[in-house]
Amino acid sequence: MSLSGTFKDLTSKPARAISGVGERIGEMPTVSRWSLIALFIVSMYLMPWWPEVPVLGWLVDTPGTSFEGVITDKVVIYVLVALGLNVVVGLAGLLDLGYVGFYAVGAYTVGVLSSQHANLPWLVCVPIAVLVSMAAGVILGTPTLRLRGDYLAIVTLGFGEIIRISANNAEWLGGSRGISKIAKPPNIGPLKFGILDAKPYFFLGLTFIIVVVFLLRRLENSRVGRAWNAVREDEDAAELMGVNTFKFKLWAFAIGAAIGGLAGTLYAGKVRFINPSNFPLQLSILFLAAVVLGGTGNMWGAILGGAVVAWMPERFRGFADKRVFVFGVALVLVMVFRPQGLIPRKIRKERWLVNWKPPESTPQSGEAEVGRG
Amino acid sequence: MSDWLIYRTFLDLTVTGLALGAIYALVALGYTLVYGVLRLINFAHSEIFMVGTFATLITATNFIGIPLLEEGNYPYRTGFTLVAILLACIVGGMVVSGAGAVLLERVAYRPLRGSGEHVGAVVLAFTTAFTVSLVFSETTRTNVIIGLIGTAPIAVLYLRIFRRGRQAPRLAFLISAIGASTAIAEAVAIWSPRDREQYQTARVLEKKVLFEFLGTDVRIDYVLVVIGALLMMTALVLFVNRTRLGRGVRAVAQDVETAKILGVNVDFVILITFLLGGVMAGAAAMMFTLVYDQTRFNIGFLLGVKSFTAAVLGGIGNLRGALLGGFVLGLGENYGAAIFGGEWKDVIAFILLLVVLMFRPTGILGESLAKARV
């Protein structure tokens, strides 16, 4: 049944069009490919000026709030979080409903180290916070990754809630008042991180995203990525084939947590004041919605999903208090009509099957095709 | 003396914990039923419960005309009137929640299963047109009119798309559920008369002490809630185990494909499953308002999470597990809150879940809606 399903998906028009873009870029000569990628990255760095472009500006601008603020405070952070959660949910296939916990761990580590109990600079806090979040991922993962599917979901959900309530009740972490006066990122040349100009934060966040995307791409195409694929598609079969499923699941958790923590440090450095109510359970669900909306398991999907989920409620401020309602309806509609997400994952199996020719007709080329797939 | 005090507190906590647990258990039944049949966390079930509390509120105040709680002056009723009002309220909650659950299934889940049909298409089309019209108009009446005008053409379009009929991945169901849950809660928050504020519900039952048990006062509402939950539960188990439709439910829970081949109308069975879950949530909603005298658009979320925890605790997909999980969670939370402080209540609930799952990875009683013994 799933096989016929995948065939149908591949032949549906939008899916073909989008997967076509990736393929065409992949088939380009190296020079033009890289210049295209460079162009894309440059246009991303120019995002704060997008509202001034004629048609695009009307599309993306957020009436009522500053566009710069939206992309630095929300879009960049959501995209980073979605990338991290995509590792856990999309690549390794582990349903995590408490991802906000890691995000909070990252933010709180920066808070504690740079304001509450020490005076370390932001840049020193970041690697520590990432490591601490990673450790949190391992600590949560070790006892719980034996559980499967929805049991894991509810336990992770509990974890997110435990983190928030603990932060709320522990005076050591500032209690419900939270932590203020958190260190900001250091000035780099002309980039002054202050309250007047949001752009430097955006550039910093975008740089984080690019680095993370680069690392994740390497990871996805490595042995680890293939192991995640195997675990996601069939855990028992993967185990039988000699994949140490527990180890790779734990890795997925740890890496996902680290990226979540990184997003948290960025958030703490930007707003410079955090309290437990910044990390509600609903945020976890919003993050998950971002990943699935964009296309589970596809990095570009996660990026798009994160950006859309962060930006959409701001774009439609015209709806005032109705925007959350609109968001809910939109989620249902997208899932009903595009259940694979906005940019579905390309599954290698599909391409392999489509390109595959019976070996009787052309044995050599047929074999080559199989090998390539 | 202090020992005696601890003992009394313990008994007090047991009584309130059992009442809370009964509500958890009833809501958990809805999660467990749907999970057993569809392997789906019905995230929007919590909002079905929330809608149920509003339904009991409306039944009591608008249809029966009971004034709301006033200062020190409760509109108490006694005897036959009281029973009639309580029954009307519970029926109101059950009907609305049941209908809501069925509608939810048709709108947010069935199209994803690849068998979307006209009811889902029409409701979805209306919602779409209505939502789009929010861009142009502030007045709700205009929105509704635009929604109604847009319904027919959009529904036709949706039906055509539905006809493609493919099964969505599992996560899509979850996100659709989350979307529906958000939309329902927000719709209540936006279009109910007092917006996002808390509502007091009519308190017709005088909460006097029914009897003393080993020196602990047992209030009548607690007794009613626990007995009511047990009755509903028994009825549900009998339905699933003894009736023809119940057998269908079990068959689909075991193996959808085989059930289909053997002539079970799978879509209908799924509808019944949602209906049963909704009815249970409606009953729970009425009991909730009976004990706590209040409701709000966002009460569903946390209670839903807890109830789902209860369902997992007892063994999801297992009806008796839901009951046991509800009571264990209600009691555990209450005792834990007394020992560690009320602010740790939710943490205790989740740690309890973690500990149980460490030793029993499929819950206390294990998963078993499929098996003959439920």
Which of B97, B198, B115 has the alpha carbon at shortest distance from B159? B115
Q: What pairs with residue B294 in β-bridges?
A: B200
Q: Is A331 on the interface with B (CB under 8 A)?
A: yes
Q: Is B82 on the interface with A (CB under 8 A)?
A: no
The dihedral region occupied by A272, where left means phi > 0, alpha psi between -120 and 50, and beta the remainder, is left
Is A300 in contact with B144 (CB distance < 8 Å)?
no
d(CA A88, CA B152): 42
Question: Can you tell me which residue has the tokens 């509109």?
Answer: B75
This model of the complex carries an ipTM of 0.87
pLDDT at residue A9 in the model: 47
Give the residue on B whose Cα is nearest the Cα of A164: B347
pLDDT at residue B53 in the model: 93
Nearest to A332 among B180, B308, B347 (CB): B180
d(CA B27, CA B46): 8
A322-to-A196, B188, B199, B291 alpha-carbon distances in Å? 30, 11, 20, 32
Is B85 in contact with B59 (CB distance < 8 Å)?
no
Q: What pairs with residue A191 in β-bridges?
A: A188
pLDDT band at A280 (very low <50, low <70, confident <90, very high): confident
Find which of A7, A285, A323, A335 to mutate to test the B interface (most B CBs within 10 Å of its CB). Answer: A335
A residues 160..199 contacting B (CB < 8 A): 161-162, 165-166, 168-169
Task: State which H helix or E strand residue B241 sits in.
Answer: helix B220-242
pLDDT at residue B52 in the model: 94
Nearest to A331 among B178, B187, B354 (CB): B178
Is residue A3 assigned to a domain?
Answer: no
What one-letter code names the amino acid at B357? Answer: L
Which residues in chain B have their CB less than 8 angstroms from residue A3's CB?
none
Nearest to B41 among A150, A158, A296 (CB): A150
Across B205-269, the runs of DSSP E, i.e. the strands, are: 209-213, 216-219
Nearest to A329 among B127, B161, B173 (CB): B127
Separation in Å, CA of A279 to nearest CA in chain B? 15
Mean pLDDT over A109-137 rounds to: 91
CA torsion sign for A50, A51, A52, A57 is: positive
d(CA B84, CA B76): 13
pLDDT at A266 over 50: yes
Which of B37, B31, B27 has the alpha carbon at shortest distance from B267? B37
Contact: B343, A168; criterion CB under 8 Å: yes
Q: Is B1 on the interface with A (CB under 8 A)?
A: no
Mean pLDDT over A150-171 rounds to: 87
pLDDT in tens, A201-211: 888 999 999 99
Is B164 in contact with A4 (CB distance < 8 Å)?
no
pLDDT at residue A367 in the model: 41
What one-letter code names the amino acid at B273? Answer: T
Separation in Å, CA of A155 to nearest CA in chain B? 7
Which of A292, A6, A258, A303 has the alpha carbon at shortest distance from A153? A292
Across A67-196, the runs of DSSP E, i.e. the strands, are: 179-180
Is residue A187 assigned to a domain?
Answer: yes
The residue extents of the domains of chain B are 43-116+165-296
Which of B281, B229, B305, B254 has the alpha carbon at shortest distance from B43? B305
Start-to-end CA distance of chain A, whole Å, equals 22
Taking the C-alpha atoms of B351, B352, B357 and B363 in order, what is their torsion angle to the nearest 10 degrees? -150
Is residue A163 assigned to a domain?
Answer: yes
Q: Is A298 on the interface with B (CB under 8 A)?
A: no
Count of C-beta atoms within a 10 Å radius of residue A180: 14
pLDDT in tens, A318-362: 666 777 888 888 889 888 888 888 888 765 544 445 555 555 544
- A173 phi/psi in degrees, rounded to 5: -100, 20
Nearest to A331 among B169, B179, B184 (CB): B179
Q: Is B362 on the interface with A (CB under 8 A)?
A: yes
Which of A151, A143, A96, A148 has the alpha carbon at shortest distance from B363? A151
Q: How many CB pairs below 8 Å do chains A and B form together?
A: 152
Domain count, chain A: 1
Q: What is the DSSP string of B302-362?
A: HHHHHHHHHHHHH-TT-HHHHHHHHHHHHHHHHHHHHHH-GGGHHHHHHHHHHHHHHH-TT
CA torsion sign for A338, A341, A346, A352 is: negative
Structure tokens at B336: 């834990």
Q: What is the DSSP string of B32-49?
A: HHHHHHH----TTHHHHH
pLDDT at residue A258 in the model: 96
Give the residue on A whose Cα is nearest the Cα of B191: A322
3-state SS track over B264-287 = CCHHHHHHHHHHHHHHHHHHHHHH
pLDDT at residue A311 in the model: 85
Q: Is B325 on the interface with A (CB under 8 A)?
A: no
Mean pLDDT over A109-113 rounds to: 92
Give the residue on B whose Cα is nearest the Cα of A296: B171
pLDDT in tens, A206-230: 999 999 999 998 998 889 999 998 9
Separation in Å, CA of A328 to nearest CA in chain B? 4
How many helices, marked H, and strands, marked E, lie in chain A?
18, 2
Mean pLDDT over A160-165 rounds to: 89
pLDDT band at A83 (very low <50, low <70, confident <90, very high): very high
Task: Determine the Cα angle at B289 with ends B277 and B12, to 5°.
Answer: 100
pLDDT at residue B364 in the model: 85
Q: What share of chain A is helix, strand, coil (3-state, %, to 5)?
A: 75, 0, 20
Which residues in chain B have their CB less than 8 angstroms from residue A8's CB?
164, 166
B127-to-A338, B145, B174 alpha-carbon distances in Å? 17, 12, 20
Is residue A292 assigned to a domain?
Answer: no
Give the residue on A whose Cα is nearest the Cα of B349: A158
pLDDT at residue A362 in the model: 45
Structure tokens at A9: 């998906």
Domain carrying residue A210: 69-279
d(CA A330, CA A332): 5
pLDDT at residue B280 in the model: 94
Which residue ranges in chain B fall short of pLDDT 50?
A: 1, 372-374
Mean pLDDT over A81-96 rounds to: 91
Contact: B175, A326; criterion CB under 8 Å: no
Which of A235, A216, A230 has the alpha carbon at shortest distance from A152? A235
Largest CA distance in chain B: 75
Taking the C-alpha atoms of A115, A116, A122 and A125 in order, what is their torsion angle to the nearest 10 degrees? 160
Q: Is A155 on the interface with B (CB under 8 A)?
A: yes
